């Protein structure tokens, strides 16, 4: 008989479809794994990163597939919106993996109001660690990233913006 | 089962859906690839937010409709969106001006909605405001860049502002559904958002070397289902597939 810890472990096999170096557990997308008497089954709760995240359906299907691969054919997947996903839930390992792939990880403290006044955080180049960087576009290859360029090594890079 | 604030939910959702649809018209037509991507991402956020609201109505209102039915099978007079969002996308400056005027209101609307007595709307606001902060910043950046840009970009931004201005008033009046929602602590009193909106919009317009349009007679009616002719064109495109091939899925 599997327990919740086993299922959390299984779910680490599910890649984030847009950033395959990360899995859905370290992304903070999986919120809960629970046995529910009413369903007489396991329920995995997930939450979208962005309301408009086009990968959500794929993630749900991949989670179902992963559970089925481990013999949990009847398990359910539930999506919740609240509390809202935040980059603060991404694990330290996840941030390190991002950095190694050339994506600047989110600056901590997502509750930043300066943004509204046009104040921007200093973003370090993931390659040469220079602080001399410029934002090229607010929206990068996916909704969760912005496009930056480094003024020292001149490389463009993605920044995983905090929400 | 009757959902007390069905129309309030739909008022918010319809505005988001129609604006998302208008923005998605830029997909493949942006002035630069970065902007193409930016506006498509913003459109996806709005459509995602609208979907969450339609889904909630679909589950609570007991009308036997799916979330898609609300988007694809209602006619113009049943839509409760702001007139502002159904206007054609215009040139890039026009789209940016609308985004800026809209997202400044929407950000503060969500901030207030976070105090709602309705648990779902409270959660919805907390989630959406994180996204809208970036939408606002994107449009603000472009207001400054185009306004304080060349003579050509400045005059086009000014023309856009002048044209859109009369459609901004509707954001600050409350429809019947909104008044009912305000009465029991569910909804946001839009009239109270005018001050902060004017302050931010005024400051950015000034910094962008543009002129605040003079107060004019304001258009209204969208939230009560009285629309401009433009909504028909939006719906014709958005609803075509479900109308031509009812129930089709992929
Ligand atoms: Zn560098």
Whether residues A139 and B126 touch (CB distance < 8 A) is answered with no
- A10 and A69, same domain (yes or no): yes
* A42 secondary structure, DSSP code: E
The answer to whether ipTM exceeds 0.90 is: no
Whether residues B38 and A50 touch (CB distance < 8 A) is answered with no
- A81 and A95, same domain (yes or no): no
Q: Rounded CA gap, B185 and B239, in Å?
A: 34
- A78 and A100, same domain (yes or no): no
Whether residues A50 and B43 touch (CB distance < 8 A) is answered with no
Domain C-terminal end among A85, A102, A118: A85
Q: Rounded CA gap, B36 and B26, in Å?
A: 6
Residues belonging to chain B with any Cβ–Cβ distance to chain A shorter than 8 Å: 34-35, 37-38, 41-49, 51-52, 107, 119, 122-124, 126-128, 130-131, 133-134, 136-138, 140-141
What single string gives the DSSP state of each residue in B67-129? HHHHHHS--GGG----HHHHS---SHHHHHHHHHHHHHHHHHHHHHHTT-S-HHHHHHHHHHH
Residue A151 CA to ligand 1 center (angstroms) comes to 7
- A76 and A48, same domain (yes or no): yes
Give the three-state DSSP class for B53.
helix
- Residue B109 pLDDT: 98
- Residue A139 pLDDT: 87
Task: Evaluate whether A148 touches A158 at the Cβ level (below 8 Å).
Answer: yes
Cis amide linkage into residue B233, ω under 30° from 0: no
- Tens digits of pLDDT across chain B (250 residues): 579 999 999 999 999 999 999 999 999 998 998 899 999 999 999 999 999 999 999 999 999 999 999 999 999 999 999 999 999 999 999 999 999 999 999 999 999 999 999 999 999 999 999 999 999 999 999 999 999 999 999 999 999 999 999 999 999 999 999 999 999 999 999 999 999 999 999 999 999 999 999 877 899 999 999 999 999 999 999 999 999 999 888 7
Which residues lie below 8 Å from residue B31, measured CB to CB, with a gap of 6+? B92
Work out how many domains chain A is built from and give that number: 2
- A112 and A152, same domain (yes or no): yes
Residue of A nearest to B124 (CA): A81
- A63 and A11, same domain (yes or no): yes
- Residue A110 pLDDT: 54
Domain C-terminal end among A40, A63, A85: A85
Residue B74, Cβ neighbours under 10 Å: how many? 16
- A74 and A122, same domain (yes or no): no
- Residue A112 pLDDT: 56
- Residue A111 pLDDT: 53
- A75 and A12, same domain (yes or no): yes
Residue B244, Cβ neighbours under 10 Å: how many? 8
Sheet-wide strand order for A156-160: A103-104, A156-160, A145-150, A133-137
Domain B6-244 has CATH 1.20.1260.10: yes
CATH number at residue A36: 3.30.300.130
Q: Suggest the residue from A29, A54, A139 to mutate for an interface test with chain B (most B CBs closer than 10 A).
A: A139
- A97 and A44, same domain (yes or no): no
- A127 and A147, same domain (yes or no): yes
- Residue A18 pLDDT: 86
Name the residue facing B48 among A51, A83, A84 (closest C-beta).
A51
Whether residues B133 and A110 touch (CB distance < 8 A) is answered with no
Domain C-terminal end among A85, A103, A127: A85
- A8 and A81, same domain (yes or no): yes
Name the residue facing A137 among B38, B42, B44 (closest C-beta).
B38
Provide long-range contacts, Cβ within 8 A and 24+ apart, for B108-111: B108/B193, B108/B196, B108/B197, B109/B188, B109/B190, B109/B193
- A150 and A95, same domain (yes or no): yes
Which 3-state string (H, E, C) describes B115-158? Answer: CCCCHHHHHHHHHHHHHHHHHHHHHHHHHHHHHCCCHHHHHHHH
Q: Rounded CA gap, A71 and B97, in Å?
A: 54
Whether residues B141 and A163 touch (CB distance < 8 A) is answered with no
- What are the residue ranges in chain A where pLDDT is below 50? none
- Domain range enclosing A26: 4-85
- Residue A1 pLDDT: 80
**Residue-range domain boundaries for chain B:** 6-244
């Amino acid at each position: 008989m599997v327990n919740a810890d086993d299922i959390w472990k299984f779910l680490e096999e599910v890649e984030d479809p847009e950033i395959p170096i990360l899995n859905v557990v370290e992304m903070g997308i999986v919120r809960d794994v629970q046995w529910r008497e009413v369903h007489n089954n396991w329920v995995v709760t997930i939450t979208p990163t962005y309301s408009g995240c086009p990968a959500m359906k794929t993630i749900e299907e991949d989670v179902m597939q992963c559970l089925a691969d481990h013999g949990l054919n009847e398990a359910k997947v539930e999506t919740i919106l609240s509390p809202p996903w935040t980059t603060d839930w991404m694990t330290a390992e996840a941030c390190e993996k991002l950095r190694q792939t050339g994506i600047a990880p989110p600056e901590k403290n997502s509750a930043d109001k300066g943004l509204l006044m046009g104040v921007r955080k200093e973003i370090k180049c993931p390659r040469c660690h220079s602080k001399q960087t410029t934002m090229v576009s607010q929206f990068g290859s996916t909704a969760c990233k912005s496009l930056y360029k480094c003024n020292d090594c001149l490389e463009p890079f993605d920044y995983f913006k905090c929400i | 089962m009757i959902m007390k604030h069905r129309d309030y939910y739909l008022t918010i959702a319809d505005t988001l859906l129609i604006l998302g649809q208008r923005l998605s018209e830029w997909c493949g037509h942006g002035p630069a690839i970065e902007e193409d991507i930016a506006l498509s991402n913003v459109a996806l956020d709005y459509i995602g937010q609208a979907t969450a609201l339609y889904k909630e109505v679909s589950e609570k209102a007991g009308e036997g409709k799916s979330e898609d039915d609300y988007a694809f099978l209602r006619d113009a007079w049943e839509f409760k969106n702001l007139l502002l969002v159904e206007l054609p996308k215009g040139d890039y400056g026009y789209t940016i001006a609308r985004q800026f005027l809209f997202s400044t209101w929407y950000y503060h609307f969500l901030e207030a909605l976070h105090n709602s007595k309705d648990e779902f709307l409270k959660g919805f606001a907390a989630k959406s405001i994180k996204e809208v902060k970036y939408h606002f910043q994107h449009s603000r950046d472009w207001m400054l860049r185009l306004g304080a840009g060349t003579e050509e970009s400045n005059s086009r931004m000014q023309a856009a502002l002048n044209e859109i201005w009369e459609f901004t008033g509707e954001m600050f009046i409350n429809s019947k559904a909104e008044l009912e929602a305000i009465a029991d602590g569910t909804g946001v009193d839009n009239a109270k958002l005018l001050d902060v909106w004017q302050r931010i919009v005024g400051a950015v317009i000034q910094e962008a070397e543009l002129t605040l349009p003079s107060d004019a007679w304001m258009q209204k009616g969208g939230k009560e289902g009285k629309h401009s002719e433009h909504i028909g064109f939006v719906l014709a495109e958005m609803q075509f597939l479900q109308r031509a091939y009812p129930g089709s899925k992929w």
